[in-house]
Chains A and B, each alone.
Chain A
Amino acid sequence: MARLISQSDWATPMIVAVSLGVLISLFNPAFLSTFNIQVLLEAVSINVLIALSQMVIIAIGQMNLSVGALGGLAAVIFAGLMEVFGLPPIVAGALALGVGLAGGFLNGLLIGLTGISAFVITLATLSIFKGLNLAITQAQPFYEIPDAVKHFGNATLFGPFPIIFVPAALIVVLLVVFFNRLPVGRWLLAVGGNAHSAELSGISTAKTVVIAHAISGFLAACAGVLLVARLQLGQPTIGDDWLIMSFAAPIIGGAILAGGHVSTVATVFGVLIVAQITQALVLFHIDPFFVQVVLGLMILAAVSVNQWRELRMQRAGQE
Chain B
Amino acid sequence: MSLVTSDARKPVRGPELMRLLLTNEFGLLLLIVVFGALFYSVSSGFLSSFNLNSMSRAAAINVMIGFSMMAVIATGGLSLAVGAIGVCSAMVCGWLLQEIGLPWPYALVAAIATGAALGAINGMIEVKTRLHSFIVTLATMSLFFGIMIFLTQAQTYRGIPASFVSFGRMKVMGLSATLGPTLVVAVALIVLYNFTRVGKEMLAAGAKPQAAMLSGVRVGRMIVLAHAISGGLAAIAALLLVARNGAAIPSMAGQQGQDWLLIAFLGPVLGGAVLTGGKISVVGAFLGAVLVTVLSNGLLLMQIGDFWLQATLGATLLLAVLLDLARRKFLERRAQ
Chain B binds chain A: yes
Q: Which residues of A contact B (CB under 8 A)?
A: 63, 110, 114-117, 119-121, 123-132, 134-135, 138-139, 240-241, 243-244, 247, 251, 257, 287, 289-297, 299-300, 303-304, 307
Question: Closest residue of chain B to A66, judged by CB?
Answer: B314
Q: State the main secondary structure of chain B at its contact with A.
A: helix
Q: Is B141 an interface residue (CB 8 A)?
A: yes
A residues near B261, Cβ cutoff 8 Å: 123
Contact present for B138 and A127 (CB under 8 Å) = no
Q: How far is the CA of A243 from the CA of B317 in the complex (A)?
A: 20
Min Cβ gap A73→B in Å is: 11
Q: Is B134 an interface residue (CB 8 A)?
A: yes
Contact present for B275 and A120 (CB under 8 Å) = yes
Count of chain B residues with Cβ under 8 Å from any Cβ of A? 48
Encode contact with A along B138-153: 1 for CB under 8 Å, 0 otherwise.
1111111111011001
Contact present for B150 and A244 (CB under 8 Å) = no
Contact present for A120 and B150 (CB under 8 Å) = no
Q: State the main secondary structure of chain A at its contact with B.
A: helix
Contact present for B256 and A135 (CB under 8 Å) = no
> Which listed segment binds A: B17-25, B190-198, B301-309?
B301-309
Q: How far is the CA of A290 from the CA of B154 in the complex (A)?
A: 12
Contact present for B307 and A135 (CB under 8 Å) = yes
Question: Closest residue of chain A to B269, judged by CB?
Answer: A120
Question: Closest residue of chain B to A295, judged by CB?
Answer: B142
**Known contacts A290-B150, A293-B150, A296-B146; is A134 also within 8 Å of B310 by CB?**
yes
Q: Which of A115, A127, A297 contacts B311 (CB 8 A)?
A: A127
Q: How far is the CA of A122 from the CA of B258 in the complex (A)?
A: 14
> Which listed segment binds A: B48-56, B213-221, B318-326?
B318-326
Min Cβ gap B158→A in Å is: 21
**Known contacts A114-B322, A127-B317, A293-B146; is A299 also within 8 Å of B139 by CB?**
yes
Min Cβ gap B326→A in Å is: 9
Contact present for A296 and B317 (CB under 8 Å) = no
A residues near B144, Cβ cutoff 8 Å: 296
**Known contacts A291-B146, A292-B256; is A138 also within 8 Å of B307 by CB?**
yes
Contact present for A131 and B146 (CB under 8 Å) = no
